[in-house]
Chain A
Amino acid sequence: MSFKSAVITFPGSNCDRDALCYLKDLTKGEVHNIWHEETSLPKVDLVILPGGFSFGDYLRSGAMASKSKIIDEVVKHANDNRYLLGICNGFQILTEIGLLEGALIRNKKLKFLGKNCFIKKKFKNNFNLSIKDNQILQIPVAHNEGNFYCDTETLNLLKNNEQIAFEYCKGEFSNTEENINGSIEAIAGITNKKKNVLGMMPHPERAYSDFHQSQDGRLIIESLIS
């Protein structure tokens, strides 16, 4: 059975096309692009909230997008136990909706960070099944507010429920710091309790094609399909 997916576009999304290509190339299945003002969502296996600056990131990153018309449908999709992936701005939107815990605050150095970063999986879930323990993935980040923060109580919950999907790490020969943006416990991506919703700051859709510097981003879609 073919894998069906959809990408939501908000005004200011700028990775929606990248996400569409990522899904088309890797799933080989039906891929829909949904405008934020739509009020229905086709029945799909995976929805991606893409990166960008939805509504200019005015007010707070992701805050305005979390009130868009389509969001009710996105929440229903998640409650139906189907997959929802928020990348970068999408991760910020998921925390604003409340589907994911914590918040993404400004990077430690208070500067936008656009470079390759290295991550590895922390706890197993359906998004990272195909990734080996301790395997280091090279995937670009591009964000100003990617510094994951939550209180101790929440952090303990995230750990106890094994909701931490990815953490930043040092790459071989790389000049990059271990924790590039200052996230608490170097968290790069978390899931909800049921582990069908993942938010992550790195952009797997920029690291999958042969001409990309790395193809490690494939592993996420491969995990979901397998």
Chain B
Amino acid sequence: MNEELILQHGLTLDEFQVIRKYLNRDLSIEELGIFSAMWNEHCCYKTSKKWLKKLPTDNEIVIQGPGENAGVIDLQDNDGIAFKIESHNHPSYIEPFNGSATGVGGILRDIFTMGARPIATLDSIRFGLIETEKTKYLLNGVVHGIGHYGNCIGIPNIGGECEFESTYDFNNLVNAMAVGHVQKDKIFYSKPKSIGGLIVYIGSKTGKDGIHGASMASDVFSEEDEDEKRPSVQVGDPFMEKLLMEGCLELMSSGLIESMQDMGAAGITSSSVEMASKGNVGVYINLDKVPLRQPLSAYEILLSESQERMLAVIDKKNNHKVKEILQKWQIDYEVIGEITDTKRVVFESNNKKVVDLPVEIIVDDAPEYDREFYIPRKRKNKDFDFSKIKLEDMIINLLTNLNYLDKSWVFDQYDSTVMGDTIREPGQSSGIVKIHGTQKVIGASTDCNPLYIRINPYEGMKYTVAESYRNLIACNINPLAITNNLNFASPLDPNIMGELVLSIHGLKTAAVKFNTPIVSGNVSLYNQTNEIPIKPTPVIGMVGSNMDLNKINTNKFCEIGNKILILGKQLTKNCSPYLLQDQKIAFNICEFNDLEVLDLDFEKKIANCVLELSDLKCIMSCNDISRGGIFSALLKMQYKDMGFRVKVPDPIDLFCEYKAGYVIEIRSKDFEEVTSFLTKKGAEYLEIGEIIKEGIEINSKKFDYFDIMNKYRNDFEKIIS
């Protein structure tokens, strides 16, 4: 086989030799295609596996950890929660609308493949600076795509994050998360149960879209590639997915199928190989039986990533009933093969075996690399000059920065109330939905602090996990588990590899401390275009619960006259990265001081105080303190005609970031009870002011409330239009 062909398939010559030696024969082009699909980063985690193994993935509430289509946790009674986050970065850069739409479609299939009904989606999207030529086009396309798919299928979008930063100029990030509800005794796995079971193809016909998508997702980009790679982006049909979801859920609740696997990345190849591997069995598939949209070669069928397709295993005797249900939902259905005892993957086309490989070589012998990595150098301490900085300018800097403005423009394009169970919509610290027919609620948040992680990947990752944690705590949601989406540049650069290794270590430390295991996830590497690497962006999706929906906190001010208290510990001005960056004090990444060590026990202590005070109904509203400090938190809490009057020793303190930082609103009559509770717990607090009508006052200086609120609420749309 010629070298060029091998390299085109994304395999190294060494990797090819391993295969060649094992098989002791030449490969068919179809087999080469299979290795191309299964041995890339996206499918086999060859770079990250060694480090991912170190993550905590289990505790008393984990029903299913990583390795299935989605992780599942126990929510008492017969309720389980399935959730996962996944990236669609490269497709969304090449074709923002379809790239992001199919990202949502893919993650939803991962959820209902487990037998769970999706109940919420979230997203984490990052773009370059708005001044960059393509950013507006990408932003519009991505938001439209996410909305189009989720709105049509009818799953509420309950939250997310949207950041603009120059490292994403030519490599935007689109991570989509989905959460589903499953009855614990009705969880479906990809492992087939019996030899001789029929393999059935369910869903859309196969076309040419997405051929080589998974290997594209594992490649470095250059600007010229863009047009050439566009055919590798899948096209989504949310209506088809809605039918597929209802059809599959009906099949599962009727007990008609044994196992199910979504045809996502690497299509029929990946789903059938996974099935065989999980069950320690073999699969035989006749490719001539696959429903096609257009004439395709065996090679193309194997690698197509056409959307809205599932592979299921059923008992022969149920064939007729399965067909009947799928006909009702107008879904294509075909028996295409069966489970064998050969432990081989066999694909036949035109009466010829085009693929005949042992499962072992594809899955178990997949490469695993221990790549070289560097640990970042220790940073020098530097004192910054804050003497020239004025409060007015600090406020203007925030109100002219997209990252601080109200993002309704984004989430108003999403349906966040469909299904009728939404309790907190996007724009609050975490999204919250009720488990249908119960009093239980699920809260979720997606977060990442790329700047922190670039400064110090280990500590920075702890801060990122802590931010998700605080977002849930602020709503009185008890954090339970994590899904992660590790977006990094090329791991072939030992500096980038170092960021990957250390941030996974930071994730581990925080997850162990918070008892929030990682139950699912995704890795997206090679996020760099024209050799500009993105900042390390390991996004966290954290899920938590409260068994009583009446105990949930709001993030919005409740009543004029109530007091405002601050919990937590402020980062010093010199070590508050977003303050330095966004107030234009530090410009270059080399200038920043190292992060202060984040004491996770302290995080837990303060969090427990917030949870206890919330249960005592002493907290009227609460928000966490993150980028933009107390000031930004207060802007987010603004509601109706309410504003705030605060007094602090130094106004710059209002813009610093925090450890375990929370703004809480309490009634004057509860002040004694709250403060003595906090003192008893050894939690420091700061009383900074009160809620007033239509005003913003800082250290007796009055600001134009309407002007600030108007800018905060409306300028996002003005800037991006």
Contact = CB atoms under 8 A, between A and B. Distances in A.
Interface of A: 11-12, 14-15, 17-18, 21-22, 35, 51-53, 55-58, 111-115, 140, 142, 144, 172-173, 175, 203, 205-206, 209, 211-212
Interface of B: 144, 147-148, 151-154, 237-240, 242-243, 328-330, 408, 411-420, 422-423, 434, 549, 639-641, 713-714
Given A111-B413, A114-B412, A114-B416, A211 B152 contact: no
Contacts of A21: 420
A219 B488 CA distance: 52
Contact of B408 (A12, A115, A140): A115
B243 A114 contact: no
B417 A113 contact: no
Contact of B420 (A18, A53, A56): A18
A211 B243 CA distance: 29
B239 A55 contact: yes
Contacts of B243: 11-12
Contacts of B413: 111-114
Contacts of B412: 111, 113-115
A15 B641 contact: no
20 contacts: A11-B243, A12-B152, A12-B239, A14-B242, A14-B418, A15-B418, A15-B420, A18-B419, A52-B154, A56-B152, A56-B238, A56-B239, A57-B152, A58-B239, A113-B413, A114-B411, A142-B151, A144-B151, A209-B420, A211-B423
B90 to A, nearest CB: 25
B418 A11 contact: no
Nearest to B416: A114
Given A53-B242, A142-B151, 12 more contacts: A11-B239, A12-B242, A14-B152, A14-B242, A15-B154, A112-B415, A140-B417, A144-B151, A173-B641, A206-B417, A206-B420, A211-B434
A205 B152 contact: no
A56 B237 contact: yes
Contacts of B640: 172-173
A205 B714 CA distance: 29
Which of B408, B412, B549 is packed against the most chain A CB atoms within 10 Å?
B412
A114 B151 contact: yes
Contacts of B151: 53, 112, 114, 142, 144
Contact of B713 (A11, A14, A57, A175): A175
B248 to A, nearest CB: 14
Contacts of A114: 147, 151, 411-417
Contacts of B641: 173
B606 to A, nearest CB: 28
Contacts of A173: 639-641
Contacts, number: 90
A144 B412 CA distance: 11
A12 B144 CA distance: 19
Nearest to A16: B154
Contact of A211 (B329, B549, B639): B549
A51 B154 CA distance: 10
B710 to A, nearest CB: 9
A35 B411 CA distance: 32
Give the 9 A-B residue pairs with the shortest CB-CB distance, closest first.
Answer: A14-B154, A56-B239, A18-B420, A173-B640, A142-B415, A114-B415, A53-B152, A206-B417, A140-B417
A159 B148 CA distance: 35
A203 B151 CA distance: 14
Contact of A14 (B153, B328, B423, B434): B153
Which of B152, B237, B418, B434 is packed against the most chain A CB atoms within 10 Å?
B418
Contacts of B415: 112, 114, 142
A58 B413 CA distance: 19
A53 B239 contact: yes
B147 A53 contact: no
Contacts of B154: 14-15, 52-53
A104 to B, nearest CB: 16
Nearest to B426: A114
A162 to B, nearest CB: 30
A21 to B, nearest CB: 6
A221 to B, nearest CB: 14
A70 B201 CA distance: 31
A211 B549 CA distance: 8
Contacts of B152: 12, 14, 53, 56-57
A142 B417 contact: yes
Nearest to A209: B420
Contacts of B148: 112
Contacts of A205: 420
A113 to B, nearest CB: 6
Which of A35, A55, A142, A209 is packed against the most chain B CB atoms within 10 Å?
A142
A115 B411 CA distance: 9
Contacts of B418: 14-15, 18, 51, 142, 206
Contacts of A112: 144, 147-148, 151, 413-415
Contacts of B240: 56
Contacts of A58: 239
Contacts of A55: 239
Contacts of B153: 14
A95 B352 CA distance: 55
Which of A17, A57, A113, A209 is packed against the most chain B CB atoms within 10 Å?
A17
A211 B418 CA distance: 14
A86 to B, nearest CB: 17
Given A55-B239, A113-B412, A211-B434, A11 B330 contact: yes
Nearest to B147: A112
Nearest to B552: A211
Which of A35, A111, A173, A211 is packed against the most chain B CB atoms within 10 Å?
A211
A113 B147 CA distance: 10
A140 B148 CA distance: 18
A22 B421 CA distance: 12
A53 B330 contact: no
Contacts of B713: 175
A14 to B, nearest CB: 3
B47 to A, nearest CB: 38
A205 to B, nearest CB: 6
A22 B242 CA distance: 22
Contacts of A172: 640
Nearest to B152: A53
Nearest to B412: A115
A69 B91 CA distance: 40
Contacts of B408: 115, 175
B428 to A, nearest CB: 12
Nearest to B148: A112
Contacts of B411: 114
Nearest to B406: A175
Which of A114, A115, A140, A211 is packed against the most chain B CB atoms within 10 Å?
A114
Contacts of B639: 173
B590 to A, nearest CB: 41
Contacts of B417: 114, 140, 142, 203, 206
A113 B413 CA distance: 5
Contacts of B147: 112, 114
A46 B416 CA distance: 27
B643 to A, nearest CB: 12
A12 B241 CA distance: 9
A11 B329 contact: yes
A130 to B, nearest CB: 21
A83 B148 CA distance: 32
A17 B436 CA distance: 11
A175 B713 CA distance: 8
B434 A17 contact: no
A57 B422 CA distance: 24
Nearest to B421: A211
Contacts of A22: 420
A21 B436 CA distance: 10
Contacts of B549: 211
A35 B327 CA distance: 14
A113 B151 CA distance: 10
